[in-house]
Amino acid sequence: MVGNLQGERNGEAPACATRLFRCGRMIASLTLALALLILWSYLLGSTVAAFCFARRGTAIPAVNPPVTVLKPLHGAEPGLYENLRSFVDQDYPELQLVLGVRDRDDSALPMARALIEARPGRDIALVIDPRVSGSNLKVANLENMLPKARHDILVLADSDMRVDRDYLAAVTAPLQDPQTGLVTCLYKAAPTGGFWSRLGAMHINFAFLPSALLGEAMGTGGGCFGATIALRREVLERIGGFARLRNELADDHRMGAAVRALGLAVALSPYIVENRVTETSLACLWRHELRWARTVRAMAPLGFAGSIITHTVIVAALAAAAFGASGTAWTLVAASLGLRWLSAALIARWLRLPTDGLWLLPLRDALSFVVFLGSFCGRSVLWRDQLFRVEPGGRMTVEGDKPV
């Protein structure tokens, strides 16, 4: 009797293991199917959104009111002189450019002075002011620069952006509608040279940009981007001025939200500015993208967690590897990667993005997934040589000499 019972127990163990194995295979298949469904839907949606955005026309304004462009500077990044010159050489009747630094030894100063000397007929002001009223040094710079602004239409643009001659006319046109409180622009990336610069540009062009366009098309984007922010001075004053943004890491996002809170629209211009990506090493690229990811996570934790759907090729591959999926499953993963390449190629064609190195897309996607995971492993970011702690909601405080 005892022997029979022992035999039954020995027979149960393999059966249980078989059932567990089959259950694991079923979970893997379901996970893979769901990931592929989400991936294909996302790829289709973002590709269609890019096509529709590319077909939007740029409004031709009836009048061109005087404009002041505010350019906060920090350091002599590659291509800075050409970036600044592109904002001066505009087909626009009355333009003032205000350049600002906080430090008299800032390496951006020679570039700023060279531009002033090269364009003596242009209205260019240079502000050197070390005063700081909060933890966001860029906003402090803007506060110091604002008194020099002579015009009521203000355009803010990051120093690593480059534009064409019709940029100002395009981005200020929507402000002629009194219900439009702010105009912003998306940006595409151009690497300045080197492997890491190319990977950084690919993230902007084939991850950020398609996602932002899909969000805009679905009405869930709500973005406001430092690539360009154009608004009337009275709107800036109504939201509390730059003082409201002194301790915000995502100052551009906060500005857009404050304008919407006034009941005014934030318009996305069809003009896409060019971001010059200058990362020279993996460490530089990692710090930049980790800061970006942790900022988004702090601002919108649920939305950021949901962004895992943009990593579905990696998720699908991990599911296939972890649960021993079949050859058919790996074929579907490979087909998904092919669709990812096709979507990127089409978006690049319609939006005039650089296509060099598209074969690196799987590596780029894998790195993006690692950054996504890394964003959950701390709350500190390194920005312009200063370490900050990102608090819930996106506010930042100066941190010590070690990451959190």
Q: Return the SS3 of 26.
A: helix
- Topology of domain 67-282 in CATH is Spore Coat Polysaccharide Biosynthesis Protein SpsA; Chain A (3.90.550)
- CA 116 – CA 107 distance, rounded (Å): 16
> Would you state the pLDDT for residue 53?
92
Place of tokens 């649960």: 323
What is the C-alpha to C-alpha distance for residues 250 and 382, in angstroms, rounded to an integer? 14
The one-character DSSP state at 62 is S
Residue 385 sits at φ, ψ, to 5 deg, of: 65, 15
> Each residue of 111-148: b (16+ CB within 10 Å) or e?
bbeebbeeeeeeebbbbebeeeebbbbbbbbbbbbbeb
In whole angstroms, give the CA distance from residue 155 to residue 13: 71
Quote the CA–CA distance of 62 and 107 in Å, as a whole number.
40
DSSP 112-124: HHHHHHH-TTSEE
The pair of three-digit structure tokens given for residue 371, joined into one six-digit string: 């950054």
- Joined together, the tokens standing for residue 119 give 């364009």
The pLDDT > 70 percentage for the chain reads 83
Tokens of 353: 């993005």
Tokens representing 198 are 């190319």
Rounded CA-CA distance 90/73 in Å is: 20
Alpha helices in 161-300 (DSSP H): 167-172, 195-203, 209-218, 233-238, 251-261, 282-299
Question: How high is the pLDDT of residue 402?
Answer: 42
Q: Which two tokens stand for residue 28?
A: 């893997």
Vertex 199: Cα angle to 196 and 204 (nearest 5) = 130
Tokens 């293991």, located at residue? 17
Entry pTM: 0.83
| pLDDT less than 50: residues of the chain | 2, 5, 8, 401-404
Residue 31: per-residue pLDDT: 67
How far from the centroid of its chain's Cα atoms is residue 121's Cα? 35
174 contact partners, CB below 8 Å, separation of at least 6: 59, 180, 183, 267, 269
Residue 288, pLDDT score: 86
DSSP string over 283-334: HHHHHHHHHHHHHHHHH-HHHHHHGGGGGHHHHHHHHHHHTT--HHHHHHHH
Among 371, 204, 189, 210, smallest CA distance to 297 is for: 371
In sequence order, what DSSP letters do the residues of 356-387 get, joined into one string? Answer: TTGGGHHHHHHHHHHHHHHTTS-SEEEETTEE
The torsion angles phi and psi of 225, rounded to 5 degrees, stand at: -120, 135
Q: What is the DSSP letter of 147?
A: G
- Altogether, the residues listed in the chain come to a count of 404
Q: How far apart are CA 252 and CA 389, in angstroms?
A: 18
Q: Which residues contact 262 (CB under 8 A, 6 or more apart)?
A: 181, 235, 238, 239
CATH 3.90.550.10 range(s) for the chain read: 67-282
Cα 303–309–315 angle (5° rounding)? 135
Closest CA to 271 of 70, 6, 58, 90: 58
